[in-house]
Structure 1
Amino acid sequence: MLMIQPDPIIVETVDRLLGEQCSAEVINAAEDGQWPASLWQSLEDAGATQAWVPEAAGGGGASIADGFAITRLAGKHAVPVPLAETLLAGYLLAAAGLEVPTGPLTIAPVVGETEFWLSAQGSFEGSARRVPCVRNAGFMVATIAGDARVGLGLFDRSSWRIGEGDGIVKGLDANVHLHGEAIAIADTGDWRGPLLLLGAAVRSHQIAGALEHMLAQSIEYAQMRNQFGRPISKFQAVQHNLAVLAG
């Protein structure tokens, strides 16, 4: 079976950009609630945030492999902005035939009963836990409960408020309570499955990227750290553990 490979130019460009701008100081500041505006602007300028949006809709028209490569790099560099979420949200909105807004986007997770529903008063209601980077997102894509299927809705910041939650990092995830109108709706098809499956695939690539970085750091430390007169990378137990991590 032929595997589609990502464009090496895209991978090299995004990897270099994140390596230069996603420092430990930027990550720590973001976790303290400071939005890394310069990092986000650089990602937008490079076309990374809307890479999965078709060219006809104003995006980069990148392949599935390219998008997953970007999400893997987002995990590798511990990117404290909703790069992966914006990519996925743009892909879903475009697939649903809806206009894709610019700026940071987020997605309400599909965990249990997290679809929003239409109330008798005509507004959408519901709550979602640990919505990624919602404090800084301008829009949120979420599944909405219909009569026979689950649709897709796009909401702006006026539609939700941030709730408090235990153990949630100040600048990143937050619980959301929705009460408002959707600015766009896709009510044909059933979007729970695509959102769940693609979301899981995106997270898997982020985890793989984070593990890749962890392995590189571990190898570097093992080669630099000396014990009993030689690098600990020479010890069989350390070599075994690194091989397990690499596998």
Structure 2
Amino acid sequence: MISVVIGGGTMGAGIAHLLLAGGHEVVLVESGADRVPAARRAVAASLGKAADRGRLDADPEELLARLVVAERLEPVAAALVVEAVPEDVELKRRVLAAAASACPDAVLASNTSSLSISALASGLPGERVLGMHFFNPVPVQQLVELVHHDGVSPEVVARARAWAEQLGKTVIEVRDAPGFATSRLGVAVGVEAIRMLEEGVASAEDIDTGMRLGYGWPMGPLRLTDLVGLDVRLAIAEHLAAELGPRFAPPALLREKVAAGHLGRKTGRGFFTW
């Protein structure tokens, strides 16, 4: 089976890793020739780390032999396309439109964590479009959130569910609504934790420890925000505030940290030092 992943950042590289490990041939598309080597290195590093930790059954080099990294999407007989580009509606629509043309028989999946699938599907063959929301780090996290809009074919949803389950993931199905299920709840807790830190209720470490030990979370909401990226969390909170009201309004502390470039693990500093 041939699968296409569009976007070679953290999520795209992780999805490519997952598909390769699941037996797929993968075309990973990254914009610009200068980004192609970095995207390939990111997938290779992810596979190598998994192998070192005993989480990969195959030789990473054998898996990489089934990976093609390209700077543009050419026509290909793919069964699945997953876009993992930044959270911008118009950008995602352009990417999905190009994929619909280049891969006429493929399921078209968006890895968006909060944007409307109906809006992304507008003007496209909507029966082929759905949300397929993976979680970071993709090879490790167990969940895939399938998001369906009114126009998607039930067969497409069933195919996407089967593929995700074959890749070892647990699937939940969610109606297309702002923030879906996971981002809506995750952001609600995350922004409240930031407000508590801003108000001096407790330290970041103590807030996170309280949620880990008191509620059984594997990771506290502030460390999770660092992992997701404060800029990503800010964009989702702004979108949810616009759609659902001021209870999702981003705290000033979040805006200040993003403006200062303290974006979490990827910059070495967020609510914690990495």
Name which one, 1 or 2, has greater alpha-carbon Rg.
Answer: 1
- TM-score, normalised with respect to structure 2: 0.26
- TM-score, normalised with respect to structure 1: 0.28
